Amino acid sequence: MADQVDVTIIGGGPVGLFAAFYAGLRHMSVRIIDSLPELGGQLTALYPEKYVYDMPGFPKVLAKDLAREMAQQGTQFSPQIVLGDTAESLSEDMVIGTRSGLHLPTKTVIISAGAGAFSPTKIGLADEESWVGKGLHYGVRHLADFEGLRVAVIGGGDSAFDWALALSDVASEVHVVHRRDVFRAHEDTVEKVQALPVGFHLFKTVAAIQGEGRITGIEMEDTQTKERSVLACDTVVVNIGFKSSLGPLKDWGLTIEKNQIVVDHLYRTNRPGVFAVGDVCSFEGKLKLIATGVGEAATAVCIAKTMIEPEAKLFPGHSSDMNL
């Protein structure tokens, strides 16, 4: 059995990485467990070349660059890192069992698993899977792959508009296809995309994909009139959301509502010594931002510190006052 650590962090995304940094700052021993093969969470796994605009200190920053810097910050105190493995169980005596058979004892746990295990929401076409790798994408890994192509972006949320904005610099054409005329994306991003030569196809859904070997277009159905029309394109980027699951965390005896872990104002779950922060947790007034998640992480770390060492200060002072 491995050595016991002060805190085990479930999830190596930006919020988990900041929790690791702050715990190290407070002289706590740390272990990070993540099912992905590299640190960074969705920033690296889903949209490494997407810009993040709402992180303090960065007017805009590529997700992969933000992930790299946060990983450097989060690992500077040399936490134990377990990648490509899943935390499956948590015993009463605080031993985490993983899918690979590891038994990892810990004093406290901070769950920062984002949305949990996630998979993209599909369009719902019978032959949809057959177009993957032939022009159908559920995100953008490398912008260069879309250079000079006619791109249809499906969706009306932040991801769809962020990609429409980014792709406009490399694609020959960008089209936004959305089932309504109301968008869930941030107003500023919508205005920026609307100011570009981007085609908008509103009240439209994708009824069929056309092509032979590669995509050459999509057949759209009007949600109001049911009339159909064809949009010529070389590639389709679907951004209509993700289906997420807490996976084994659902069996940890935690209070869960709407696929999120319920916490109090100190990010404590109903299990003593177990905290949840970031997108995985739920409370009244919750905002799902990296910027708010890192604050939650710092609070949870400090509460965990005082739980392990009751004589410790809740607030250790500003990092600028410390000798790092």
pLDDT at 259: 87
The Cα–Cα gap between 164 and 145 comes to: 14
CATH says 122-238 is which class? alpha beta
Report residue 84 CA to chain centroid gap.
Answer: 17
pLDDT at 322: 61
The Cα–Cα gap between 225 and 172 comes to: 30
| Residues whose CB falls within 8 Å of the CB of residue 34, separated by 6 or more in sequence, listed in order | 10, 11, 12, 13, 16, 41, 82, 83, 84, 85
pLDDT at 320: 66
Enumerate the domain spans of the chain. Answer: 5-118+242-321, 122-238
pLDDT at 188: 93
Beta strand 51-52 with 136-137 is unpaired
Name the CATH code of domain 5-118+242-321 (choices 3.30.750.24, 3.40.630.30, 3.40.50.720, 3.50.50.60): 3.50.50.60
The one-digit pLDDT tens for each residue of the chain (324 residues) are 789 999 999 999 999 999 999 999 999 999 999 988 899 998 887 778 888 888 999 999 999 999 999 999 999 999 999 999 999 999 999 999 999 999 999 999 999 998 666 678 899 999 999 999 999 999 888 899 999 999 999 999 988 999 999 999 999 999 999 999 999 999 999 999 999 999 999 999 999 999 999 999 999 999 999 999 999 999 999 999 877 778 899 999 999 998 899 999 999 999 999 999 999 999 999 999 999 999 999 999 999 999 999 999 998 877 766 655
Beta strand 228-232 with 95-98 is unpaired
The Cα–Cα gap between 123 and 207 comes to: 9
The domains spanning 5-118+242-321 and 122-238 adopt the same CATH topology: yes
Return the residue matching tokens 């948590």: 90
CA 305, 306, 309, 315 dihedral sign is positive
CB under 8 A, 24+ apart: contacts of 187-193: 189/53, 189/158, 189/161, 189/162, 189/165, 190/161, 192/165, 193/161, 193/164, 193/165, 193/168
Q: Which two tokens stand for residue 27?
A: 């002289």
pLDDT at 9: 98
pLDDT at 315: 85
Helix (H, G, I), strand (E, B) or coil at 150: strand
